Each structure stands twice: as structure tokens, then as C-alpha cells.
């Protein structure tokens, strides 16, 4: 721009700017490309993606959350979709792929409306109105599960059967296992969730997922995986003379080293004779012996320490018949506190009998090639460990992701025990009802509501595609069945067919997840539609000197050295 012949520079040199429809279309295109990448990984027959990071590490998965975390997305609009997917994963633990696919579909339909001359603001208002109506419809068609009181055995068994239906749907799309192994995994997930569940004032439950630990050990098969009502530590007993098995354990949880503390001040000791060295070492040993005596006097027979344990202290603990484990993670200490009923103590001097945790058994066992310490059979454990076994790390990582999704599903259902039919049934029903409702919406917003309904149908379309079915025929058949009042008609993806009532084969999804998917996808799409200017700063250039330095370093590294 020039003012009276003098150029006026507003932006820094090298800055690029796209604005108006050009910027909007570029953003929509980027979002749609990301949506296309993830689309084929949706559902039980979703295909895997192989991701290779900058270090050459390989991840093979169809989990949307894992894919978006590993992908190094550059385009700012695509990054918005990635952030939305991560937010959904953090909030409800599932539905990441659906969010990206639905966001892309909403933007694709919005682009068609833009071509017809409809202003982005009108589309945004229409989408928001359609979202609110869709959330109302979800509440109307939701099926309430019987949860009852988890402390009662009968109610617990009923809740288990009810929750298993939705859990099967969540796991089916992640990892294909044999039916008996899948059933075993589901039982482990449910028991772990019930262990960490806490009742809320309104009668529902919340699951403290940070109290459920997942440990992976290579070796054996997935069928060897187990649930421990307590905590498993990937550590071993510190001294060979210590007991490897302690029954009726009294556990001291220490957040202080069993070592001689160094003073904060700088000090020097002048030693002039061998006797002084001996007395110095004896005093050190006495301090450590007193620590062990204190631990023994309160009745502890197991010490679990977050920090280090001196060799001399280990010797005295072994003489007292006390088992000790050191350098345990803080998160594990907190789980142990919950599981054993003990309290973490920051000073050995302050340790009392009331601070000790208890459980029936603490034992060191060999798992694969490693030793692990099992703290189990606690009286009222509020923490649990799922120990996974498998042939390789890639398999274990994928199963861990599946279990995490399963745990989130159970947490969502215990918080809000409502489900909706899966297999694309709820999306077809929403689309049908929204189209009917759109007739009562005035002005151009009606077109946006219709576009929203079309976009929602993208999910069943993708499910049909991944199942190898004819997409058009499948959607037409589903629309016909829903028009006849069969609101649970959906796609049996495993057997590649449409069935009248998808709930009969237990394909159910938590209503909380569906709501979050709709909210996040709509918010992301409307955020992108609001953008009409993209101003990108020039990438930072390294200083010439730094570049030369870097070049010299690389040359040095590549030059072979001979001694």
C-alpha cells in the first residue's frame, strides 16, 4: 500500500496474508483433508494407520486420539481439529475420530452453502440452532441403564451386565481379540472401575481413573493378563537378605530418603586421626540404625520409599526382617495410600502406627524377565492394577489404548447412565428429526439446519464404507426403517448388514460421548467459518554464525575417529 507515493509497511517482511473467501476455503480444505485421513479408521472395521515419527519409531493404530497425537500437523485450521480431538479424548476418552470426521462433514456442507451465496454468520447460527435441537433429541431417545448400589452384590452384577453391552461397543472398534479374551478384558475393566468408583451425592458414581494403573510386560499372551485389587510396582526388593513375601503386611509409606541428609550449609570436617574416621562412620551408622529402629518400633514390616535407601539402612532393615522397595513414583505412592489406607510420611521421626497401611500380602514375583512387587488383597482397595501381557510392545500399546477407552466409557456411564443405539442408528434418527424440524425454522438458517442433518449422516456412511457395504443403498434402507418408526435400526458392521434393532446385539454408546462429539465438532466448524483472514509470520531464520557452527558440528560427527 502507498500513501502519497510513500510505501506504508504494516506487516513484517516475509509475512503472508490470505483473506476473504480465499482464506476460508483454504481452511475448509485443510480440515477436510485431515478428516479424509482419519475417516477410514472409524468403527469396528476401521483400518489402521502406520505412523513413523522423526526418530523412526513406528506406531500402528486405528485409535483417533493416538493418530492425532502422533501426526505433526502444520496447517493452523487442521491444528484446530487436532485440538478438538484431544479435548474430546481428555473429556470423555472416546469419539476422537468421530469429531474430526463430523467437523470435516460440517465444513464440506458449509462450503456448498457459501457457493450459494449464504453468509458464514447465517450458517453458524443455523448450526448452533441445529446443535441445540440435536441435544434435545438425544435426551428424548436415550435409554437409561440400571446401575443401583454398587456396594450390593446383586445390584453390582446387574450393573455389570448392563455396562458390558456398551463396553463391548467401545472395545470392538479398537482391538480385535478372540471372544473369550475380550470377555476377560471387559471383566477386568469393570472390576477395576468398580474398585475406583466413589458415590456422588446425587446417587451416581465417579471413577477416579488416576487410581487405576495399567502395567505392561512383554511375554506370555494377552490371556495371561490379570487384575490386581491393589498395586503392582515395577520395582524389586532392594536387598537379597530381605523377605520376598510378607503376609499381613503393615506398610510404611515414606516420602523421605533413608540416607544421611546433607546439610544445606557448606561445611568442612577436619579429620586428623583414624579414630575420628571410625567415630564419624559409627555416627552415620547410628543415625541410620535409629531410623530403622523407629520404623520397626511402630510395627512396620514393609517399607515403600519414594526416594533412596542407603546400603547401611538396607542392611539394618534386612536384619529386622523388613521388606523394602525404593524410588517408587509419586503417582504409585498416592495409589498405595488409597489402596492400603496408609498415609505418606515425610519424616521418619513423625511415623506412627496410625500412618501404616495394611494388606494381606506383599510379594515379589517374577513377571517375564523382570521382578515386580505385588501389594494385594487390601481390605477396601480404592486402587487397582491391570497387568497386561503380550507378545510385543506394539500389541501392548494398542491394548492399553483400548483399555483406557473402555475405562472412560464406564466412567461416563456411571456418571450419566444413559445410552443411545450405535451402528449409525442415532445419527440417522437425528438427521431425520432435524430435517422435519428444519421446516419450522424460518429464513436461510433452514438451509444450514438441513446441511447439519446431512453432515451427521457422514458417520453411518463411513461405517457402511468400512464394512464393505454399498453406501447409498445402506443409507436409503436406514432412512426407510427410521421413517417407519424403527429408531434403533442401524448397521451391524461386523456382519455387514442393516438390522431393525441394533440394541439386540448390544451395540450401544454413552449419550455423554455423543453429546460431546456434536458439541466439539460444531464448535470447531463454526470457529473455522468465522475466520476470514490468515496472517502468517515468516518462519524464523537461523543466524549465519549459528548455521556455520551447526554445519561444523555435523562435519565433526560425520568424520570417523581413529585411536
Confidence of residue 253 (pLDDT cuts 50, 70, 90): very high
Q: Is residue 553 part of a domain?
A: no
> What mean pLDDT do residues 260-280 have?
72
Which residue in 304, 472, 279 sits closest to 375, CA to CA? 304
**49 within a domain of the structure (yes/no):** yes
pLDDT at 545: 46
Of the candidates 97, 409, 524, 526, the residue annotated as catalytic is 97
Residue 95, pLDDT > 50, answer: yes
Task: Flag the least confident range among 37-41, 109-113, 530-534.
Answer: 530-534
pLDDT at position 457 over 60? yes
Handedness of CA 418, 420, 423, 424 (dihedral sign): negative
Same domain, residue pair 373 and 438: no
Q: Considering the domain boundaries, does residue 341 fall inside one?
A: yes
- 445 pLDDT more than 70: yes
Note whether 341 and 435 are same-domain residues.
no
What nine digits make up the cell of 515?
A: 453429546
What CA–CA distance (Å, rounded) separates 189 from 186? 5
Tens of pLDDT, residues 44-55? 888 888 888 888
Mean pLDDT of 289-298: 92
Residue 419 banded pLDDT, cuts 50, 70, 90: very high
**pLDDT number for residue 272:** 72
User: Of 336, 340, 339, 333, whose CA–CA distance to 354 is shortest?
Assistant: 340
Tell whether the model's pLDDT for residue 464 goes beyond 90: yes
202/414 Cα distance (integer angstroms): 12
- 499 pLDDT band, cuts 50/70/90, is very high
Quick check: 466 and 42 in contact, CB under 8 A? yes
Burial of 537 (0-12, 13-18, 19+ CB in 10 A): exposed
pLDDT digits (tens, 9 = 90+) for 220-243: 888 889 999 999 999 999 999 999
Residues 362 and 474 in one domain: no
CA dist 511 → 123, 261, 516 (Å): 26, 55, 9
Q: Is the pLDDT of residue 428 over 90?
A: yes
Those residues whose C-beta lies under 8 Å from the C-beta of residue 105, and which sit 6 or more positions away, are 35, 454, 455, 456, 458
Residue 562 lies in a domain: no
Average pLDDT score over residue span 83-90: 87
Phi-psi region of 550 (alpha: psi -120 to 50; beta: other; left: phi over 0): alpha
Asked if residue 189 belongs to a domain, the reply is no
- In 3-state terms, what secondary structure has residue 213? strand
Say whether both 429 and 318 belong to one domain: no
Is 314 a member of any domain?
yes
Q: 542 pLDDT exceeds 60? A: no
pLDDT, one tens digit per residue, over 549-561 is: 555 555 554 444 4
Specify whether the backbone of 450 is left (phi greater than 0), alpha (psi in -120 to 50) or beta: alpha
Predicted local distance difference test score (pLDDT) of residue 139: 92
Higher pLDDT, 423 or 171: 423
Q: Can you give the pLDDT at residue 552?
A: 55
- The one catalytic residue in 405, 409, 466, 503 is 405
Q: Among residues 59, 63, 169, 522, which one is catalytic?
A: 63
Q: Is residue 405 among the annotated active site residues?
A: yes
Mean pLDDT of 34-40: 90
Q: Supply the DSSP symbol for 375.
A: E
Q: Pick from 327, 362, 380: which residue ends a domain?
A: 380
pLDDT at position 175? 60
Q: What is the pLDDT of residue 149?
A: 81
Q: How confident is the model at residue 174 (pLDDT cuts 50, 70, 90)?
A: low
The pLDDT tens digits of the residues spanning 407-416 come to 999 999 999 8
Question: Any catalytic annotation for residue 63?
Answer: yes
DSSP output for 176-188: ---HHHHHHHHHH
- Nearest-angstrom CA–CA distance, 333 and 345: 11
Q: Is 507 helix (H, G, I), strand (E, B) or coil?
A: coil
Of 330, 352, 380, which closes a domain?
380
Q: For residue 518, give the CATH number of its domain.
A: 1.10.560.10
In a domain, 366, yes or no: yes
pLDDT confidence bin for 173, thresholds 50/70/90: low
| pLDDT digits 0-9 by tens, 469-494 | 999 999 999 999 999 999 999 999 88
Q: Label residue 340 by pLDDT band (50, 70, 90).
A: very high
Q: Which residue has the higher pLDDT, 211 or 273?
A: 211
Write the DSSP assignment of 140-151 as a string of letters: HH-EE-----TT
- Under the banding of pLDDT at 50, 70 and 90, the label for residue 563 is very low
Residue 268 or residue 308, greater confidence? 308
Residue 430 sits in the same domain as residue 374: no
| Residue 58 host element (H or E) | strand 58-61
pLDDT digits (tens, 9 = 90+) for 354-365: 999 999 999 999
Report the range of poorest mean pLDDT among 38-47, 275-284, 340-349: 275-284
- Mean pLDDT computed over 156-171: 86
Q: 331 and 283 in one domain?
A: yes
Looking at 188-192, 277-281, 333-337, 446-450, which range is the least confident one?
277-281
User: Does some domain include residue 323?
Assistant: yes
The parent domain of residue 471 ranges over 12-143+420-535
Residues 260 and 138 in one domain: no
| Catalytic residue selected from 40, 59, 61, 96 | 96
Domain boundary among the residues 316, 348, 380 is at 380
pLDDT tens per residue across span 102-118: 999 999 999 999 889 89
Q: Please report the pLDDT score of residue 385 as a whole number.
A: 93
What is the tally of structural domains in the chain? Answer: 2
Amino acid at each position: 500500500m502507498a500513501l502519497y507515493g510513500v510505501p506504508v509497511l504494516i506487516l513484517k517482511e516475509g509475512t503472508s496474508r490470505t483473506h476473504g473467501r480465499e482464506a476460508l476455503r483454504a481452511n475448509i480444505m485443510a480440515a477436510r483433508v485431515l478428516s479424509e485421513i482419519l475417516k477410514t479408521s472409524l468403527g469396528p472395521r476401521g483400518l489402521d494407520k502406520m505412523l513413523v515419527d522423526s526418530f523412526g519409531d513406528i506406531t500402528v493404530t486405528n485409535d483417533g486420539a493416538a493418530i492425532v497425537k502422533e501426526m505433526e500437523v502444520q496447517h493452523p485450521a487442521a491444528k484446530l481439529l487436532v485440538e478438538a480431538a484431544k479435548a474430546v479424548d481428555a473429556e470423555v476418552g472416546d469419539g476422537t475420530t468421530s469429531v474430526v470426521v463430523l467437523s470435516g462433514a460440517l465444513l464440506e456442507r458449509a462450503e456448498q452453502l457459501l457457493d450459494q451465496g449464504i453468509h458464514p454468520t447465517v450458517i453458524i447460527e443455523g448450526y448452533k440452532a441445529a446443535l441445540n435441537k440435536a441435544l434435545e433429541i438425544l435426551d428424548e431417545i436415550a435409554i437409561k441403564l440400571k446401575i443401583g448400589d454398587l456396594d450390593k452384590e446383586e445390584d453390582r452384577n446387574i450393573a455389570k451386565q448392563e455396562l458390558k453391552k456398551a463396553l463391548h461397543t467401545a472395545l470392538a472398534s479398537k482391538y480385535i481379540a478372540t471372544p473369550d479374551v475380550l470377555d476377560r478384558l471387559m471383566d477386568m475393566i469393570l472390576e477395576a472401575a468398580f474398585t475406583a468408583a466413589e458415590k456422588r451425592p446425587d446417587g451416581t458414581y465417579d471413577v477416579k481413573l488416576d487410581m487405576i494403573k495399567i502395567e505392561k510386560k512383554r511375554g506370555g499372551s494377552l490371556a495371561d493378563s490379570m487384575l490386581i485389587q491393589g498395586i503392582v510396582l515395577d520395582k524389586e526388593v532392594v536387598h537379597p537378605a530381605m523377605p520376598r513375601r510378607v503376609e499381613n503386611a503393615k506398610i510404611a509409606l515414606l516420602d523421605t530418603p533413608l540416607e544421611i541428609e546433607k546439610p544445606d550449609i557448606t561445611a568442612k570436617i577436619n579429620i586428623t586421626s583414624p579414630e575420628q574416621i571410625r567415630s564419624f562412620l559409627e555416627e552415620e551408622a547410628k543415625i541410620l540404625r535409629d531410623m530403622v529402629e523407629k520404623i520397626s518400633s511402630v510395627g512396620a514390616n514393609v517399607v515403600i520409599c519414594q526416594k533412596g535407601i542407603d546400603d547401611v539402612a538396607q542392611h539394618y532393615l534386612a536384619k529386622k526382617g523388613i521388606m523394602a522397595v525404593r524410588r517408587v513414583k509419586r503417582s504409585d505412592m498416592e495409589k498405595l495410600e488409597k489402596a492400603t489406607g496408609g498415609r505418606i510420611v515425610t519424616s521418619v521421626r513423625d511415623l506412627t502406627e496410625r500412618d501404616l497401611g495394611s494388606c494381606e500380602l506383599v510379594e515379589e514375583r517374577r513377571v517375564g524377565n523382570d521382578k515386580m512387587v505385588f501389594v494385594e488383597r487390601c481390605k477396601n482397595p480404592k486402587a487397582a492394577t491391570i497387568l497386561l501381557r503380550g507378545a510385543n510392545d506394539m500389541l501392548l500399546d494398542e491394548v492399553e489404548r483400548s483399555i483406557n477407552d473402555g475405562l472412560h466409557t464406564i466412567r461416563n456411564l456411571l456418571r450419566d447412565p444413559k445410552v443411545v443405539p450405535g451402528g449409525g442408528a442415532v445419527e440417522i434418527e437425528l438427521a431425520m428429526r432435524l430435517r422435519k424440524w428444519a421446516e419450522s425454522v424460518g429464513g436461510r438458517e433452514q438451509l444450514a439446519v438441513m446441511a447439519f442433518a446431512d453432515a451427521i449422516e457422514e458417520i453411518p456412511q463411513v461405517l457402511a464404507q468400512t464394512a464393505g457395504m454399498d453406501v447409498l443403498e445402506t443409507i436409503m434402507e436406514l432412512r426407510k426403517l427410521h421413517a417407519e418408526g424403527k429408531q434403533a435400526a442401524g448397521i451391524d458392521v461386523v456382519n455387514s448388514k442393516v438390522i431393525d434393532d441394533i440394541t439386540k446385539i448390544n451395540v450401544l454408546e454413552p449419550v455423554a460421548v455423543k453429546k460431546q462429539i456434536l458439541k466439539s465438532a460444531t464448535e470447531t466448524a463454526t470457529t473455522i467459518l468465522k475466520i476470514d483472514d490468515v496472517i502468517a509470520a515468516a518462519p524464523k531464520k537461523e543466524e549465519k554464525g549459528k548455521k556455520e557452527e551447526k554445519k561444523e558440528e555435523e562435519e565433526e560427527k560425520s568424520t570417523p575417529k581413529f585411536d
